[in-house]
Structure formats: structure tokens, C-alpha cells
Amino acid sequence: MKATIEKAEGVHREVRVEIPWSTVKDEMDRALRELAKGLALPGFRKGKVPLPVVRQRYGRQVSEDAVAHLMQDALEAALVQNKLRPVSRVEISRGDLQEGQPYAFTARFEVRPDIEIKEYKGLQEEKGVAQVKPEDVDREIDRLREEHASLVPVEGRDTAAKDDVAVIDYRASRNGRPLKGGERQGYLLHIGAGKALPGFEEHVGGMRVGEEREFDLEFPRDASDSELAGQVVHFSVRLVALKRREIPALTDEFVLDLGDAALATVADLRGRIEKTLLAREDARLAEEQREKLIGKLIERNPFPVPPSMVERQQQAYLAEMEALLGQGGGLERLGMTREKLLGDLRERAERSVRGNLLLLAVAEKEKITVEDADVEEHLAQLAERLGQNLAQVKARFAEGDAREELRYRLLRDKVLEYLLHSSNMPPQAPPPAAGAPA
């Protein structure tokens, strides 16, 4: 086997591979003999068909299969021989098979760039000190009270209005046929929350208890149910009752009802929330510091980035966004299309790929690694933090690429810690309190 790199521009590679005719012929003969072992034709017993007859009938297909098998092996050998690791799909241009001649094919692909990282030590980036304001704690307490709201009957009126929780029965059909799973009894609809199919809450608003109403709605084109996307559905709705959310008062009794043995008073609750918010803000500031550090790393170390890696990252971001926004036509409600969102995500995706490749380059240069012991320690800490069984946590990270992704995250953290320590940057001092002397 002979492999020649015919093109090496940036991250693009083109490799021409030649397989000797003797190798091709041996593989085709082997494949024919293997086929003949189990072959039965009129006039011949199973396994007794002469090879010339097998070749005449099946030679072309056997040749194509044999060459395909040889190409796969030859390509793998060529990549190892030339120390090439494709990061994109390999595109193959097949040559013509001619008796007595070497078989040649060309492989085109992208590789990880060779990065000669230079400026990466002493990159200074300040990290602010986490602070929490009383109103931040108030907001969290209000959210907690909202979560523990109870539903009580609406008194003094029977017409559905904004912020009511309507108890409804409904049926959905399309072209006169009921939709599978399209009938609900006692469904709770929070009017004005914007969580239902666009237009549904508006139709229920203004209904009176006991009233039945029918209407048609078109599902958004980006609806999560592809069979209903862009389709008109007919709804029959009956308003059964009206309820409102009653938010509990902030008292020690409310705190005790939360069921946390460490919390007995409102002061306890405020202290817990403040501590949680401080930890959350400190983590946010640390990540912000790291992202700014990566930005400086990118700025000082330009290199060509493989388009295929950027595209994969784009698609990953898009899948995340669609999962978050796709329910109930989220993209359409935001006035965005899939194509527009994909374009907007390109810059973010390219930055992510550049940052990851640079961090890997630093890891290789400084010989920073993640050992199995690091992974085991992280999983043990995660299990303890989540209050879960260690074996279950390990099983979750044994599926698919989860363990390798975890190893990369741990490596990324190690490299960033190394870069931060090399800069010796102290935390930024908090601003003086209002009214304090400068």
C-alpha cells in the first residue's frame, strides 16, 4: 500500500492511496471462494459450483465488495502512516478497477490544526467579588412563595380573566378525526402565562363557567410534534371552574412548612438563600473570568479552524435552543427561523471551537492530563452532592460519549486553573458601600 499526501492547505488534506494489484486480486479470489462455499446453483450441489462460474455470475459485485473492504483497511493504514486524524467526514473519490493495475482512490478530509501556541502565560484577567443585595434575596423568597401557592376558588365572578387558573375539559380534532391524546378532563390552564398553544389562552379568556366554546388554531411550523406543525386543529372546550393562586405569607410557619430541619425562622431562610446566591454569583464570576481569559488566548493565537468542527458545534447549540424553545412554537414566537438562529450561532460556535483547541494545545505543551483517579474523585463528589448512589452516577457516565466528555471538562478546568495561576491575578476588591468614605 502506498499513500501520498497530495494536498495540505491549512486544515484540509487530500491523500492518494494505491493498493497493489496482487493485494486486490488476492482479496477478490478470497471473497469468491468464500461465496462459493455456501452457493448452490442449478446443476451444482451446495459448495461445488466451479469458481469460473461463480466469477461469471457474481464477479462484478464481489469485486466491488472486495475493493470497498480493502479501501477501508488501506485508508486506516494511510492515516496511521501519515499521523493524520480526520475531524470531518472523509470524502472518497474512487478510481477505476483495471486488471493488472494498482487500484487508486483519493480521500479528502479536515484535520485538527497544528497550533504553535505562544502567548498563554501571564494573561491577566480580574475576577470580581460576589455580592448579594437584600432585594436579590427578596426575589428568591417571592419565587419560593409562588412555588408554594395553593389554588382556591374564584369568588364573586364566573368569567375567566387574566391570571386565573381555568379548569377545563377539551377535545382536539383534525379534519373531523380526534387527535391521539387530544382529550383532557380537568386540565389546569393558567391564563396569561403564555405556556399553551399560541391563541389558546385568549380563546378561553372571557368564557363563563359552564360555557362551551369551539375554535380552530394553527400549530406553529416549528412545533415539537412534526405531524401537527403548520396544521389547523379544531378544539372543543368547556370551562368547568375558575381558581386563583393564593400565595402564602412570609412567616416562620411558612418556613417550617418547607420541611427543612435546618430552617425554623424567616431569618434562617434569608441566611440560606443569601449563602446560595453568593455561591451562585461567585461561580458566575469565575466562569466569566475564564471566558475572558479564553478570549485573550484566542486573540493572541490565531490559527485556521476546521469548518466541519464549527458546523458540528453550531448544530449542537441549535439542538439545545430548539429543545428549550421548540415547545409551543418558541422559535416562531420569537420571530426567528431555524436558518436565522443557525446563522446567529456561527460566531459563538467558532469561538467555542477555537477556545477548546487552544486549551488542548496548552494541555499538550504543559503535559496537563486527566487520570482515571481524577474522574473517579469527581464522580464520588458528584454523587455526594446530588445525594445519589455512586454506582448509579458511574453508570450514567458510562453511556455513549459521556465519560470522554467528562474527561474533557475536567481537562479544561485543569488547564484554565493553570492559566489563572500563571497570571497571579488577585480578586478584584468590591466597590465601597453606598455612603462609605472613598
The 10s digit of each residue's pLDDT in 276-286 is: 999 999 999 99
Does residue 427 carry a pLDDT above 50?
Answer: no
Calpha distance 363→367 (Å, rounded): 6
Q: Which of 222, 246, 270 is the last residue of a domain?
A: 246
> What does the pLDDT look like over 138-180, one tens digit per residue?
999 999 999 999 999 999 999 999 999 999 999 999 999 999 8
Answer yes or no: is 214 within a domain. Answer: yes
358 closest CA partner among 316, 291, 292, 302: 302
State the residue range of the domain holding 301.
282-423
Which region among 55-64, 265-274, 401-410 has the lowest average model confidence (pLDDT)? Answer: 55-64
The model carries a pTM of: 0.70
Q: Which of 56, 91, 110 is the last residue of a domain?
A: 110
Asked if 296 and 417 sit in the same domain, the reply is yes
Q: What is the model's pLDDT at position 437? A: 40
Asked if 239 and 288 sit in the same domain, the reply is no
Calpha distance 262→273 (Å, rounded): 13
Answer yes or no: is 119 within a domain. Answer: no
Strand pairing category for 12-19 and 232-246: unpaired
Q: Which of 110, 138, 164 is the last residue of a domain?
A: 110
Counting residues of the chain whose pLDDT is more than 90, the rounded percentage is: 63
User: Can you read off the three cell numbers belonging to residue 34?
Assistant: 468464500
Q: How many domains does the chain have?
A: 3
- Choice between 330 and 27, residue whose per-residue pLDDT is larger: 27
> What does the pLDDT look like over 54-95, one tens digit per residue?
676 776 787 888 888 899 999 999 999 999 999 999 999 998
2 phi and psi, to 5 degrees? -120, 130
Asked if 299 and 408 sit in the same domain, the reply is yes
